[in-house]
Amino acid sequence: MSYLVLARKYRPQTFDEIVMQGHITRTLTNAIRSNRVAHAILFSGPRGTGKTTVARVLAKAMNCKEGPIPVPCNVCRSCMEITTGNAVDVFEIDGASNNSVDQVRELRENVKYMPAHSLYKIYVIDEVHMLSLAAFNALLKTLEEPPSHVMFIFATTELHKIPVTILSRCQHHDFRRIDVESISKYLETICSKESVDIAIESLRLIAHEAGGSMRDALSLLDQVMTCSDGTLSHDQVLELLGVLDRKIIFDLSTAIFSKNTSGLLDMVEEIYASGHDMKKLYQDLIEHFRNLLIVKMGDKIDRLVNLSADEVGSMVEQVKDISEIFLNQVFNILFEEESAIRFAIQPKLALEMILMKVVQIEPALSIDVLIEKLDNLRKEIQGTVDQKKNLKKNNNPIKKKPGLDPPLDDNINVNNTWKKLRNVISEKNPSLAAFLKKCTLTKLTGESLEIEANGNDFNLRMIQRRKNMRIFESICRDFFGKEMHLSIKAKPSKPDERPRKKDKTNDLKQKAIQHPLVADAVEIFNGKVVDIRIL
């Protein structure tokens, strides 16, 4: 065929023509200039970023008649043969179809022979990760100590499949994805050379759809140019590529911000009727809100958002009145529901359901404001509790318990006496002291002690056991120096007090859980109320 696709026609022939891989071309140029080129080099990275192209330019630079030289002449016999792909000393091998150990053994035999007319015999193995483990093992020794006239260049898109033993024997260079701006500028240059009039907006759309791959971008441009007589409108480009206009994504997000449910569903219906893929639309929407969130944060936008400057400016304008927290809420829901779209039998219905859920989101307060309001709410509830306690205290002043006789002596304090008595009991009988720990001395006379058991019924029964009572009476006789009558009673219960207190506590808890600030906190942190404590 006489026609060459753009990816082949405009393949870079020198390191300076390589787009967006300066960190690699600069290293290789310096290595050639200083005569420090490694005998085995591994290129890894996404598809269409220039791995094979750089390998060919490196081969030309090493085998050029003037070389090794950083800038090949592209006119000598060796350069011309490499450019056309029929060089006798440069072997381009497809790792996917030449992956057996027998083929690697044949390669090992061939490296012994000197190049035909070049300085080096160069082996370029593309998709090297497709070699079998046995083939890799057969290559190890030759790769580590090849003849001085042999050079290996490997290329792969799946670095993790390369054995460590191979990686350790190669100089590794990692290729980067090419950003939208660089691709669109390169496409604009090619359109100028081809005398094709395509709007820069359309070129940016093609660059965005390429996903960082220059080869994909050139293939899409080739497709568009095939249908052109010289001028193509943006709508024609959209129709040819079957791509959704970026403006529609902006319109969808605007409808979400304005809570225009009917308009949102109408747009989805129109997109569906046009034959666009709902799953692809959802992916674009997730990516758009991710970019909106980063733009709103305003830090490292150029690095984190792979879009043109004009589109980033439109995003800045769109989110100027939208809070960062609300954008995060929308993005979080869209991301969480991604599997529902991916596995849905009816993606359109699933998309509509998710969008209606997003529209119903109430913008939450910022974390700082929320914490401040929650703190005020806590103080408000605490103030209400304290006020009720003070009111109850004023309405029910403490009165002296009836039946309490005055102490034997003015210097005797009932509490101190009980404390000392319990200390003596602890020394002589710790088990009895444990049962008396929750008891209170309520009445003390010259001949008797009245004790109120505050614990449960088990405590009372254990104290009233005959053995424990004899021990208790004996200790009291030694402590007071005379016989003392012991009276042990259970603390009178107040049946209405506990339920009433419990009802008030439940009312306060219910009031707290229904407060809007609590609802906002649960929404922001995607949490749930585990417990409510009234201090």
149-167: average pLDDT: 94
328-355: average pLDDT: 92
pLDDT confidence bin for 275, thresholds 50/70/90? confident
Q: Torsions phi, psi of 129, nearest 5?
A: -65, -15
H or E element: which one contains 405? none
* Domain 186-241 in this protein, CATH class: mainly alpha
Do you find a cis peptide bond into 397, omega within 30 degrees of 0? no
Residues 117, 89: contact at Cβ < 8 Å?
yes
Instruction: Extract the tokens encoding 109.
Output: 């035999």
**What is the structure's pLDDT at 384?**
72
pLDDT confidence bin for 394, thresholds 50/70/90? low
422-445: average pLDDT: 82
pLDDT tens digits along 237-268:
888 888 888 889 999 999 999 999 999 999 99
The residue among 282 and 512 whose pLDDT is bigger is 282
Using a 10 angstrom Cβ sphere, with 0-12 exposed, 13-18 middle and 19 or more buried, the burial of residue 183 is buried
Can you tell me the distance from the alpha carbon of 79 to that of 153, in angstroms, rounded to the nearest whole number?
Answer: 17
Beta strands per DSSP E along 382-463? 439-444, 448-453
> DSSP states of 71-127 as a string?
S--S-SHHHHHHHHT--SSEEEEETTTS-SHHHHHHHHHHTTSPPSSSS-EEEEEET
The backbone region for 38, taken as left when phi is positive above 0, alpha when psi lies in -120 to 50, beta otherwise, is beta
**What is the structure's pLDDT at 318?**
92
pTM of the predicted model as reported, rounded to 2 decimal places: 0.65
357-373: average pLDDT: 75
Q: Any idea which of 180-184, 499-503, 524-528 has the lowest mean pLDDT?
A: 499-503
Q: Any idea which of 403-417, 421-435, 501-515 has the lowest mean pLDDT?
A: 403-417
**What is the structure's pLDDT at 406?**
40
Can you tell me the distance from the alpha carbon of 424 to that of 430, in angstroms, rounded to the nearest whole number?
Answer: 9
Instruction: Extract the tokens encoding 341.
Output: 């779209």
**What is the structure's pLDDT at 369?**
67
Domain 414-490, CATH among 3.80.30.20, 3.30.300.180, 3.30.430.20, 2.60.40.10: 3.30.300.180
Residues 163, 143: contact at Cβ < 8 Å?
no
β-partners of residue 121 are 150
**Residues listed for the chain:** 535
Residue with tokens 């390429």: 210
Residues 232, 197: contact at Cβ < 8 Å?
yes
Q: Does residue 51 surpass a pLDDT of 90?
A: yes
Can you tell me the distance from the alpha carbon of 363 to that of 370, in angstroms, rounded to the nearest whole number?
Answer: 12
Q: Does residue 503 surpass a pLDDT of 70?
A: no
Q: Does residue 371 surpass a pLDDT of 80?
A: no
Which of 43, 55, 54, 20 has its CA nearest to residue 158? 43
Residue with tokens 């409108």: 233
453-467: average pLDDT: 76
Q: Any idea which of 18-32, 159-173, 496-510 has the lowest mean pLDDT?
A: 496-510
CATH fold of 246-359 reads Zinc Finger, Delta Prime; domain 3 (1.20.272)
Cα 130 to chain centroid distance, Å, stands at 31
Q: Does residue 276 surpass a pLDDT of 50?
A: yes
210-223: average pLDDT: 92
47-59: average pLDDT: 95
Can you tell me the distance from the alpha carbon of 205 to that of 217, in angstroms, rounded to the nearest whole number?
Answer: 10
Q: Does residue 179 surpass a pLDDT of 50?
A: yes
Q: Does residue 76 surpass a pLDDT of 70?
A: yes
26-41: average pLDDT: 95
Going by the DSSP 8-state scheme, the letter that residue 402 receives in this structure is T
C-alpha distances (whole Å) from 200 to each of 188, 197, 512 are 7, 9, 57
Can you tell me the distance from the alpha carbon of 193 to that of 307, in angstroms, rounded to the nearest whole number?
Answer: 25
330-336: average pLDDT: 92
CATH fold of 6-174 reads Rossmann fold (3.40.50)
**What is the structure's pLDDT at 475?**
87
Residue with tokens 């509790």: 385
Per-residue buried b or exposed e for 187-218, using 16+ beta carbons within 10 Å of the residue's own CB: beebbeebebebeebbbbbbbbebbbbbbbbb
The residue among 388 and 16 whose pLDDT is bigger is 16
β-partners of residue 90 are 122
Q: Mean pLDDT highest for which of 136-145, 383-392, 457-466? A: 136-145
CA count, 13 A, side-chain hemisphere, 94? 2
Which of 482, 410, 493 has its CA nearest to residue 449? 482
**What is the structure's pLDDT at 23?**
94
Can you tell me the distance from the alpha carbon of 488 to that of 469, in angstroms, rounded to the nearest whole number?
Answer: 10
The residue among 28 and 528 whose pLDDT is bigger is 28
**What is the structure's pLDDT at 39?**
94
Instruction: Extract the tokens encoding 132.
Output: 């079998």
Q: Does residue 397 surpass a pLDDT of 60?
A: no
Q: Does residue 188 surpass a pLDDT of 90?
A: yes
Domain ranges of the chain: 6-174, 186-241, 246-359, 364-398+493-535, 414-490
445-473: average pLDDT: 80
Give me the chain's average pLDDT, please. Answer: 85
Give the list of residues 6+ apart from residue 268 with CB closer than 8 angstroms, or none: 252, 348, 351, 352, 355
pLDDT confidence bin for 398, thresholds 50/70/90? very low
